[in-house]
Amino acid sequence: MLIACLYVDDLIFMGNNSDMFSDFKKCMMDEFEMSDLGKMHYFLGLEVVQSDDGIFVSQKKYVRGILNKFKTQHCNPTNIPVEFGLKLTEAGSGKKTDSTFYKQIVGILMYLTATRPHIMYSVSLVSRYMECPTEMHLLSAKRILCYLQGTKDFGIFYRKGEKEDLIGFTDSDYAGDQDGRKSTSGYVFMLGTGAVSWSSKKQTVVTLSSTEAEFVAAIACAYQAIWLRRILKELQFKMESATMIFCDNNSAIKLSKNPVNHGRSKHIDVKYYFLRDLNNEGTIELQYCRSEDQLSDILTKPLRNTVMPPRRIIDQNAQTDEVHPTHGMQTHNRVPTPEPVPTLEVPPVLTSPPQAPQTNVNRPPTTKGDISNVEFRRSIQM
């Protein structure tokens, strides 16, 4: 199998057959004038390090550019991106600030969530007030920049050879929005050791109980599970069993399995009972997990400093990709003593939910094999 992705004049392709790689490159070079840059190391702001142990994806250069743009490269780093217990409102506090400047910060941070699921909630929170930001909103956005100052080298590591089961986590707060009293849904899907899809979004309806809020979040997670299963099927990734989705609310789990409409749940919209059909068909399976093991908790509310910091992992076999200064061809050299590579692997207590393996922005999981990068020297006539 070979998968190609084209953006303007940059082309990347991946697969699991080296002969197919050679034939594809030869065919493209015969048709277009291009340069072969070897294994992918940089693409649209994403930095990729491929080694024998797996693939590490980060945005270190992009983060440094953000800090320099907003003159925060020398600020004091913070341990968490958003203050624990912070409650923002549309009215805010303090004077109104420049909305254009505020939108620039939020827009740049939104793209950074492609490899930073742990700042997804904080960025989504400050993005709700772009229309008329105040000093309080701006300070909250700048706090995220201070957090990036201490976590510039963080990213996601997809370890090779791990069990590749698609596992989801879903969670919700209750009436966290101070203006409309709506809840926030969050989910994250893991494939092996790395996250492949995550979301933090304010719900469109006002829920009347924590069970209903969790139920609405679970159905949003189920929608994403269906989409991911279809993508994996196209990638010839067989999934014979149901996708496990972990939830820390027993009432929501029972409601998804019990076909009887209880009096307490009659007010819930009919469309949300689609979750029951998915559970009965074997497409997904809701399982209970403790709140301490809930990975998606970070996508729904500010967490304490003792819970937030991710664990740093050092990859002793990392490779670096160097580009020759004259002809631009990429070479691959192994570094004898590589620098520590921080990652976003979850703490050990969060890696194993009860009786289960480890777990836009939606990035499909990387297939086995190398990822190559070629650059077009002229435009393609479609």
Domain locations in the chain as residue ranges = 1-52+368-382, 60-149, 165-311+340-364
Compute the distance between CA of residue 271 and CA of residue 116 in angstroms, rounded to an integer.
32
The pLDDT of 230-250, averaged and rounded, is 89
Fold of 165-311+340-364: Nucleotidyltransferase; domain 5 (3.30.420)
Phi, psi of 264 (to 5 degrees): -75, -15
Confidence of residue 338 (pLDDT cuts 50, 70, 90): very low
C-alpha torsion angle, residues 345, 347, 349, 350 (rounded to 10): -40
Residue 105, SS3 per DSSP? helix
CA distances to 8, 71, 143 from 106, in Å: 25, 15, 12
Per-residue pLDDT reduced to its tens digit, 263-287: 556 667 666 678 888 888 888 999 9
CA angle 79, 87, 290 (to 5 degrees): 65
Check residue 96 and report its DSSP letter: B
The pLDDT of 46-70, averaged and rounded, is 92
pLDDT of residue 350: 33
Per-residue pLDDT reduced to its tens digit, 121-153: 999 999 999 989 999 999 999 999 999 999 998
CA distances to 267, 275, 286, 375 from 264, in Å: 7, 18, 21, 59
